[in-house]
Amino acid sequence: MDNRNLWIEFASHPGVVQGGLCTASNLTRRQLFNILNVAFRPSGGFDITRRGSTTPLPVTDDLVEPDHYVLSSTIPGQAVTASDEQYYRRTLSRSDTGRDETFRHDVRQRDGRCVITGRVNHNAGMGLWRGFEAAHVFPLALSMIFSSCAFSNVITDSRGINSPNNGLLLRSDIHQMWDGYEFAINPDDDYRVYSFSANTTEYHGTVLNDVCRQPEDTHRVYDVVLRWH
């Protein structure tokens, strides 16, 4: 069953739904613009209007109301189109290599808690991490893409994709939602969580715990991989 409550159309194709979201009740107009600027890339930008209105939405921190919205190019004669940025499905990757164990150890030691919910692992001192998982931001299964996208030039740790710079400690259920692209973290909006699913709306607007992003920490998670996700 479709649980979207916000739909997007192009002014050049009225009545044709191009996409939609299950929005959180605290989604702001500014955040909606941020999301749509990733999904749609017209040169010169676009205006957003509610269907049936001619007044563009201002980029403010006012809340977005569920409705049909229309995108129109700010340059006369140009059409809005979907972004050509490649979507990569995340697949389950299992490995028992020493590099993966080091990745888990470093992420656990750095974070000590789920960096989305803030839940602390009080059993860490006993070496028990049940319910907590070290998650790759850029998927381990896409290691070849990691290299071709030049992330290896940014993350200079010799472990590459298995560096803690590419990791977050998450509660197990949150990890599954992360792998399903049900939410993202925007480092350009004070590291706020952006929800795309009914299961993650309660976390929308939550700020990524700063334990994983201390500027002086060489093991901190890198903004560049958060932007990719």
pLDDT digits (tens, 9 = 90+) for 13-60: 999 999 999 999 999 999 999 999 988 876 678 999 999 999 999 999
Is 195 a domain residue?
yes
Number of structural domains the chain divides into: 2
Find the CATH number of the domain harbouring 48: 3.10.20
Tens digits of per-residue pLDDT, 71-126?
999 988 888 888 876 666 665 544 445 558 999 999 999 999 999 999 999 999 99
Any domain includes 39: yes
Tell me: do 68 and 110 sit in the same domain.
Answer: no
pLDDT digits (tens, 9 = 90+) for 164-222: 999 999 999 999 999 999 999 999 999 999 999 999 999 999 999 999 999 999 999 99
Residue 188 lies in a domain: yes
Residues 138 and 39 in one domain: no
- Residues 17, 124, single domain; the answer is no
Domain that includes residue 163, residue range: 98-228
Q: Is residue 21 a part of any domain in this protein?
A: yes
In a domain? residue 88: no
Q: Which residues contact 82 (CB under 8 A, 6 or more apart)?
A: 18, 19, 39, 40, 41
Handedness of CA 14, 17, 18, 23 (dihedral sign): positive
Examine the domain organization and report whether 68 and 27 are in the same domain.
yes
Query: Are residues 143 and 212 located together in one domain of the fold?
Result: yes
Do 218 and 116 fall within a single domain? yes
Q: What is the pLDDT of residue 150?
A: 73
User: Within this chain, do residues 68 and 102 fall inside the same structural domain, yes or no?
Assistant: no
